[in-house]
Amino acid sequence: MSRLESADLARFFRQLDKHISKQFDAPPVKFSMIAVGGTNLTLRGWKPSTKDVDFMIEGVDLGKVKRWARDAAPDVPAHMWDAPYVFSTTLPDEYQTEHHETFTNFDVSLLSAIDIASTKIGRLDQPDIEDIHLINKQGVGREEILERSERILALGGYASPQEAREKIDIFKAISRDWT
What's the mean pLDDT when you consider all of the chain? 95
Q: Where are the alpha helices (DSSP H) in 53-141?
A: 62-72, 113-121, 126-137
What is the per-residue pLDDT for 28?
Answer: 67
Helical axes 126-137 vs 142-154, angle rounded to 10°: 120
Taking CA 63 as the corner, what is the angle to CA 58 and CA 69, rounded to the nearest 5 degrees? Answer: 85
In this predicted structure, the answer to whether residue 27 has a pLDDT above a threshold of 80 is no
What is the per-residue pLDDT for 47?
Answer: 97
- The fraction of the chain above a pLDDT of 70, given in percent, is 98
Q: What is the chain's percent helix, strand, coil content, to nearest 5?
A: 45, 20, 35
Parse the chain into domains and list their residue ranges.
6-111, 117-174
What is the C-alpha to C-alpha distance for residues 172 and 146, in angstroms, rounded to an integer?
A: 8
What is the C-alpha to C-alpha distance for residues 131 and 37, in angstroms, rounded to an integer?
A: 9
The model's pLDDT over 72-119, given as tens digits with 9 standing for 90+, comes to: 999 999 999 999 999 999 999 999 999 999 999 999 999 999 999 999
Distance between alpha carbon 49 and the CA centroid of its chain, in Å?
14
What is the C-alpha to C-alpha distance for residues 175 and 179, in angstroms, rounded to an integer?
A: 8
In this predicted structure, the answer to whether residue 131 has a pLDDT above a threshold of 90 is yes
